[in-house]
């Protein structure tokens, strides 16, 4: 049975000393750098958060807030002591060739229901023709078509009665009149337009409940573009914000060079398990 022989092991002094650890670079931020970082953080964060919020609202409207395929405003009550309710001028300027007005807005729809018992009239016309018909007529201008604040005294325009019932005019692009809910569907094109709501007989005191909507076929990809750009700007702004508030860091406080004896240690050699002898091997 042979004994296990350990090879010669160098003394601890024979082992080379460990190389020095490279100290990490000291990290400091100048006061000017902090101010610049915080300034640009605000510059990026404001539009970034606005893009994220706007994109989220548009996606919600695109996926959940539709009625028969239309993105609609809430139902709201509108009234005028005069003879007409008119929208502010709708300026549909011609867009680029790759995104015409019809592609951006799609079909528009205005729903109006009389609340005073009279037959109502709703129509859309070129703004110039509608203004000519209503020139000198007492009326109320509704800003935002239900998306803005309610009409105030400054929105009441003084005047007299119209020259005739609205349905007798021949400049309407689309019109509807009668009892109950009246609906006007219109394919928008470039130009200046105006919605007009009146009593069908042209009488005073117009009271209706109305809402407006549009298909907005492009709202989905516009929402995703806003979300992607907003998220990117928010990320950059957050990084700049963290840099502006970052503390100076001295690595010597946490890092130390190794000390003591770093030479390897020889482990004891254990003999293998004892061999067993069979019955016929003695």
Note the pLDDT tens digit of each residue in 121-137: 999 999 999 999 999 99
- The structural domains of the chain, with segments of one domain joined by +, span 27-65+218-256, 70-214
- The rounded distance, in Å, linking the Cα atoms of 111 and 184 is 7
Note the pLDDT tens digit of each residue in 247-277: 776 665 555 555 655 556 656 555 455 444 4
Per-residue pLDDT band at 87 (split at 50, 70, 90): confident
- The rounded distance, in Å, linking the Cα atoms of 195 and 114 is 16
Per-residue pLDDT band at 203 (split at 50, 70, 90): very high
Helix ranges restricted to H, 2-95: 31-63
* Neighbour count for residue 146 (Cβ, 10 Å): 20
pTM for the full model? 0.59
Domain 70-214, architecture per CATH: Sandwich (2.60)
């Amino acid at each position: 049975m042979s004994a296990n022989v350990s090879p010669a092991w160098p003394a601890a002094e024979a082992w080379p000393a460990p190389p020095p650890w490279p100290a990490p670079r000291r990290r400091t931020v100048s006061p000017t750098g902090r101010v610049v970082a915080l300034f640009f953080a605000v510059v990026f964060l404001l539009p970034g958060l606005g893009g994220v919020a706007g994109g989220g609202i548009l996606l919600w409207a695109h996926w959940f807030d539709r009625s028969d395929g239309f993105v609609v405003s809430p139902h709201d009550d509108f009234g005028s002591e005069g003879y007409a309710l008119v929208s502010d001028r709708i300026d549909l300027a011609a867009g680029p060739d790759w995104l015409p007005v019809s592609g951006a807005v799609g079909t528009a729809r205005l729903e109006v229901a009389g609340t005073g018992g009279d037959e109502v009239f709703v129509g859309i016309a070129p703004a110039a023709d509608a203004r000519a018909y209503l020139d000198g007529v007492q009326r109320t201008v509704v800003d935002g078509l239900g998306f803005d604040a309610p009409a105030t005294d400054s929105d009441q325009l003084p005047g007299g009665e119209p020259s005739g019932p609205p349905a007798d005019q021949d400049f309407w692009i689309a019109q509807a009149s009668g009892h109950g809910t009246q609906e006007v569907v219109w394919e928008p094109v470039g130009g200046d337009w105006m919605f007009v709501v009146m009593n069908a007989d042209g009488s005073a005191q117009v009271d209706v409940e109305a809402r407006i909507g549009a298909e907005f076929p492009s709202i989905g990809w516009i929402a995703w573009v806003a979300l992607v750009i907003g998220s990117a700007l928010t990320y950059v702004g957050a990084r700049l914000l963290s840099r502006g508030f970052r503390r100076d860091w001295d690595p010597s406080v946490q890092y130390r060079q190794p000390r003591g004896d770093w030479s390897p240690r020889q482990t004891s050699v254990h003999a293998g398990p004892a061999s067993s002898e069979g019955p016929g091997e003695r």
